[in-house]
Amino acid sequence: MPKTTKKENITIVLNRPKYPGNVGSVARCAKNMGIEKIMVVGNRNLDEEEMKMMATHVAADIVDNIRYFDYLDETLAGFHYIVGTTSRRGNARGPVVSPREMAERLPDISQENEVALLFGPEDTGLSNDELRFCHLVVAIPASSRFKSINLSHAMMILCYEIFVSRAEPMEKFTPRLATSAELEGMYDQAKELLTKIDFLNPQNPDYSVMHIRRLLSRTKLLSREVKILRGICRQIEWYAKNKNT
Amino acid sequence: MPKTTKKENITIVLNRPKYPGNVGSVARCAKNMGIEKIMVVGNRNLDEEEMKMMATHVAADIVDNIRYFDYLDETLAGFHYIVGTTSRRGNARGPVVSPREMAERLPDISQENEVALLFGPEDTGLSNDELRFCHLVVAIPASSRFKSINLSHAMMILCYEIFVSRAEPMEKFTPRLATSAELEGMYDQAKELLTKIDFLNPQNPDYSVMHIRRLLSRTKLLSREVKILRGICRQIEWYAKNKNT
C-alpha cells in the first residue's frame, strides 16, 4: 500500500468540547495536516463566530461542515477503528501507545476503513466508559509534573504525526558540493597568500592551514562558495600589490 | 552524552508577537514539554491577564518570568546556537530541516550551549533579515495548499519533537501473554464444547476451530483472558447440562 496515498478516511471526533475557540483551532490544525472532517458530540451551542475566528479563513469551510451529534455511541456507530486519547495512565486503561506508534499503525487500516480520532472534553478528557469504544489509546509524552495539554495542541501532535508518517521525506536542498580538486586549488591559493602576507610560520606553514581546512570541511563547502573564497584571496593579493603604488 | 539529561539550555524567543493569547499558549506548551524560558522581543504591551488565561495555572510562572527586549540582536546576543522557523521555502532562505531532524541535532549542542528557538510574528513569520541570525532553519511539514499554522501550534510541534527525542521510550504495558499450554488447553476445551452443542461438523471439527484460533491469535491473548474464556466454556457446559433438569 503506497505511503503517499493522500485520501484517508480520518475524522476528528470531539466529545463534549466546551470552548468554541478550541474547536476552531482544531479545524485549523486539521486543515493544515490534510484532515477535513470534524464531528462534535454533545454540544450544539458552540458560537460560530468564535469558532471561525480561531479557524481563520483557511479552515472556515471545515467549521461550516462540522456534523453535530447528541450521543457518542451514535456518532461512532459507522466507524471501523477508533483511536482514543488520554493524558492519564493506569492499569484500568490498558495499554497506551505513543502518537508515533499510532501514526505507524494507521495507514494500513485507514485506506479501507473509517477511522475516528476521539478527543474528550477540555477539563476531564475521555472517561473510562468512553475509552471502551476505542481500539487504540494514545498518550502524548509530556513533562510529567505539568501534564495539561490544550485540546487543539494535543490534536495537532496526533495529526502532525499522521501527516509526517505519510509524507514523502522533505525535499532535500542539496546544491553541488565542491569537488576535492576545487578544494585543493583553494587551499593551495590560500597557503600561498597567507605565506606572502607573513601569516604562516615558514617553518611549518601547514599548521595553521590545517585548522582552516578543518573549519571549512565541517561546513561542507559548496562549489560556488569556493569560487567566492578564491575571489577574496585574489582580491587581497591585488590590493596588497597595488595599494602602495 | 546521555540522551536523558533533563536540563537543557533551550529558550523560546518570540519576535514581535501580536496576540497575548498566543504567548500564553506558547507558555503552556513550553511547560508541558519541559521548557521554562521565554523571551519576547519588540512588544512590551502584551496583556498579562490574557496571557495567563491561555497559559492556565500550569504555566503562570513562565508568564511571570518572561524577559522582554526591544531589539532582536540584543536578545540573541548571548546565544550560541539559534534555530529559526519558517513556513516559506525558497532558495534565498537556504536549506531547511524538518522538526525531527532539528530535534536530533540539538542534544549535542544544547548541553554546553545556549540555544534559542526563534519564532516570527503571527502574520508574517521571520523575515530573511531575521533568519540570517539562525544557524539552522526549520520548516514544519504541512498540507501545502493550506499552510498556515498558528504560532503556538508550530512551537508545540518543535518542542514536542525535542521532548520526544530526549525521552526514554514510553514504558510498555506488557502483561503476561498466555503460554502455548494454556492456549491449547483452552482450544481443546472449546472444541469439546462446540462438538457437544453440535456447532462443529463432526467430519471436520477442526475447520471452524481453525478460524477461532486465528482470530484469537491475532489478539495476543493474556493469561487471565484465557481463564475468563475457559470459565465461560465451563459455564455453558454446566447450563446445558442443568437447564432441563
Kindly report, residue by residue over B50-72, the tens digit of the pLDDT: 999 999 999 999 999 999 999 99
Cβ atoms B122, B151 nearer than 8 A: yes
For residues B113 and B162, membership in a common domain is answered with yes
Q: Distances from the Cα of A70 to the Cαs of A15, A65, A83, B84, in angstroms?
A: 10, 16, 20, 44
| Count of domains for chain A | 2
For residues B159 and B186, membership in a common domain is answered with no
CATH number at residue B188: 1.10.8.590
Closest CA to A35 of A117, A97, A125: A117
For residues B71 and B135, membership in a common domain is answered with yes
For residues A224 and A113, membership in a common domain is answered with no
CATH number at residue A88: 3.40.1280.10
Is A177's Cβ below 8 Å from some Cβ in B? no
For residues B79 and B137, membership in a common domain is answered with yes
Res B200: pLDDT: 82
Torsions phi, psi of B12, nearest 5?
-85, 125
Mutate to test the interface with A, among B101, B152, B160, B172 (most CBs of A within 10 A): B160
User: Which has more pLDDT, A142 or A168?
Assistant: A142
Rg (CA), chain A: 29
Residue B4 resides in a domain: no
For residues B89 and B192, membership in a common domain is answered with no
pLDDT at B89 > cutoff 70 = no
Is A83's Cβ below 8 Å from some Cβ in B? no
Q: How far apart are CA A225 and CA B18, in angstroms?
A: 38
Is B62's Cβ below 8 Å from some Cβ in A? no
- C-alpha grid cell, residue A25: 483551532
Put simply, the answer to whether A164 touches B100 (Cβ < 8 Å) is yes
Out of B141, B146, B156, the one facing A170 most closely (by C-beta) is: B141
Confidence at A86, pLDDT banded by 50, 70, 90: confident
Alpha-carbon gap: B245 to the closest alpha carbon of chain A (Å): 39
Is A153's Cβ below 8 Å from some Cβ in B? yes
Put simply, the answer to whether B170 touches A97 (Cβ < 8 Å) is yes
Is B32's Cβ below 8 Å from some Cβ in A? yes
Q: How far apart are CA A153 and CA A16, in angstroms?
A: 17
Is A27's Cβ below 8 Å from some Cβ in B? no
Residue A1 resides in a domain: no
Put simply, the answer to whether B139 touches A170 (Cβ < 8 Å) is yes
For CA atoms B27, B158, A57, B19, the dihedral sign is: positive
A46-50, B136-140, B238-242: segment of lowest average pLDDT: B238-242
Query: Domain residues for B220?
Result: 180-242
pLDDT at B109 > cutoff 50 = yes
Residue A175 resides in a domain: no
Put simply, the answer to whether B153 touches A59 (Cβ < 8 Å) is no
Residue A213 resides in a domain: yes
For residues A160 and A195, membership in a common domain is answered with no
For residues B220 and B122, membership in a common domain is answered with no
Q: How far apart are CA B127 and CA A35, in angstroms?
A: 29
Residue A4 resides in a domain: no
Is A34's Cβ below 8 Å from some Cβ in B? yes
Mutate to test the interface with B, among A26, A28, A140, A160 (most CBs of B within 10 A): A160
Is A146's Cβ below 8 Å from some Cβ in B? yes
Rg (CA), chain B: 29
Confidence at A245, pLDDT banded by 50, 70, 90: low
User: Given A105, A133, A166, which residue is the final one in a domain?
Assistant: A166
Cell numbers 487543539 label which residue? A152
Res A5: pLDDT: 42
The residue-averaged pLDDT of B193-213 equals 83
User: Given A119, A144, A166, which residue is the final one in a domain?
Assistant: A166
Q: Within 10 A of A192 (CB to CB), how many other CB atoms are there?
A: 14
For residues B123 and B216, membership in a common domain is answered with no
Residue A203 resides in a domain: yes
Residues 6+ apart with CB under 8 A from B72: B15, B41, B42, B130, B133
* Rounded (10°) CA dihedral B129, B132, B136, B142: 20
Alpha-carbon gap: A32 to the closest alpha carbon of chain B (Å): 5
The residue-averaged pLDDT of B26-46 equals 95
Cell numbers 447440562 label which residue? B241
A37-51, A223-237, B32-46, B141-155: segment of lowest average pLDDT: B141-155
Highest mean pLDDT pick, A58-72, A84-98, B226-240: A58-72
For residues A161 and A186, membership in a common domain is answered with no
Is A239's Cβ below 8 Å from some Cβ in B? no
Mutate to test the interface with A, among B54, B86, B89, B156 (most CBs of A within 10 A): B156
User: Given A123, A139, A166, which residue is the final one in a domain?
Assistant: A166
Residue A5 resides in a domain: no
Residue A174 resides in a domain: no
A1-15, A40-54, A146-160: segment of lowest average pLDDT: A1-15
Helices (H) and strands (E) in chain A, counts: 10, 6
For residues A115 and A214, membership in a common domain is answered with no
For residues B136 and B224, membership in a common domain is answered with no
Put simply, the answer to whether A31 touches B146 (Cβ < 8 Å) is yes
Alpha-carbon gap: B244 to the closest alpha carbon of chain A (Å): 37
